[in-house]
Amino acid sequence: MATASDTVIAGNKTLVVNMGPQHPSTHGVLRVLLELDGETVVKAVPDLGYLHTGIEKSCEDKTYSQAITLTDRMDYLSPLGNNLVYCMAVEKLLGLEVPKRAQYIRVLMVELQRISSHLVWLGTHAIDLGAMSVFLYCFREREEILKIFEMFAGQRMMTSYIRIGGVALDPPAGWRPVVERFLKLMPSRIDEYEQLLTGNRIWLGRTKGVGYISGEDAVAYSMTGPTLRAAGIPYDNRRVFPYCSYEEFDFAVPTRTDSDCFGRYMIRVAEMRESIKIARQAMAKITDVGAIKAEAPGIIPPQREKMKTEMEALIYHFKIFTEGFSPPPGEAFATIESPRGELGCFIASDGSPRSLRTHFRSPSFINLQALPKLITGQLIADVVACIGTIDIVLGEVDR
């Protein structure tokens, strides 16, 4: 591999520049080796692994319920999505049916999560391209969402709220007015961001026509999520392979054909608006009383009250927290539409309480491999814009 010290290669005409791993616009610790001819990128080689923490190996050493907390730490901008896909994979292995109420709570939470993740993306992307104030506004609204998460899960970021068979806790008292107020407020706030950016000449100049990839190439490079939909392919897991009762919700899958940084920006803004719609519907569907966990003795921990009167409940409680539970041998692959694309979880079980293999199909890792394709031939200033629109989270890229 070329190193930054090989500064002069190919007939003294090009220069190799090291971007990252500490560069603020790489959104973490991504290193990109750029070979430049003047200001034009001739070749780009991403170098990953600075945040590799061996989460997949650790999952093999933990019981199924213990591993949920590890999943929070991959895509730290969308921990609920990670919880969800992991729990869905385990539920698939077990053949467990989740109660409708829990499914709607899950939908509400992951849609709020999508808005918050897109807000962080929008704010940081704008700051990368020089629009300082959008960042402050985006984080103002994100704070509201984190407060909602804290209400529901007791945690702002590493929520671990979604559990195998349902969710951890009943929605807290007084959650409706809080969520309602946020959903009412949010559309006007999105209008505000759009006023700042969508017609802004500098913004258009920095994003229009930058980082184009054709629809065929995007599919060939296994891209998913907003990057694929901006290339005109309406592939959204919520619509194509519905999970968590998404088939009951009314929402649009926004697509565009321009497939540049501006298109991807517009897609994400449109998705935030759709998420508000879905969250409203989910709110209406969540009843005030009902089950939040599946009935599955030996898998779902029993209620505290039951343990005091029933011996079986006490035994199950002890067994779940010492030994864990053993799904039948087999393999399951669950996927959801995370804010970044198709997030998948593949679990192979050998019938023991620990998984034989847990693998996460992380969308930002796979989307990132198209980065050289996006930036080759572009100006060095556009590299930042391209890294931004792929929307990578290095915790998920390196796992």
* Residues forming the site for other proteins (CB under 8 A): 1, 48-49, 52, 54, 56-58, 60-61, 88, 91-93, 95, 219-224, 233, 235, 240-241, 243, 330-335, 342, 344, 346, 348, 350, 356-357, 359, 361, 365-366, 368-369, 398-399
Whether 95 contacts 89, CB under 8 Å: no
Sheet holding 40-47, edge to edge: 8-9, 14-19, 31-37, 40-47
Nearer to other proteins, 235 or 325 (CB): 235
Q: Which amino acid is at 228?
A: L
Whichever of 36 and 223 has its CB closer to other proteins, that residue is 223
What minimum distance in Å lies between the beta carbon of 53 and other proteins? Answer: 10
Where are the extended beta strands (E) located within the chain?
A: 8-9, 14-19, 31-37, 40-47, 162-163, 166-167, 330-338, 341-349, 357-361
Q: Hey, what are 125's tokens?
A: 């992307």
Q: Judged by CB, which is closer to other proteins: 186, or 366? A: 366
Q: Shortest gap between Cβ of 61 and other proteins (angstroms)?
A: 5
Alpha-carbon distance of 98 to 88, in angstroms, equals 9
Cβ at position 73, least distance to other proteins in Å: 16
Nearest distance, CB of residue 51 and other proteins, angstroms: 9
Q: Whose CA is closest to 102, among 258, 257, 238, 244?
A: 244
CA–CA distance, 113 with 107 (Å, rounded to integer): 10
Nearer to other proteins, 31 or 142 (CB): 31
Q: State in angstroms the smallest separation of the CB of 166 from other proteins.
A: 15
Cα atoms found within 13 Å of the Cα of residue 343, Cβ hemisphere only: 29
Cβ-based neighbour number of residue 288 at 10 Å = 8
Q: Which is nearer to other proteins, 340 or 361 (CB)?
A: 361
- Smallest gap, in angstroms, from Cβ of residue 287 to other proteins? 22
In the three-class reduction of DSSP (H, G, I as helix; E, B as strand; rest coil), residue 221 is classed as coil
Output 87 or 138, the one with its CB closest to other proteins: 87
> Shortest distance, CB of residue 126 to other proteins, whole angstroms?
28
As measured in angstroms, the least distance from the Cβ of 5 to other proteins is 16
Nearer residue to other proteins within complex by CB, 163 or 361: 361
Q: Length of the chain in residues, anyone?
A: 399
Nearer of residues 130 and 351 to other proteins, judged by Cβ: 351
Instruction: Please list the helix, strand and coil fractions of the chain in percent, rounded to the nearest 5, in that order.
Output: 50, 15, 35
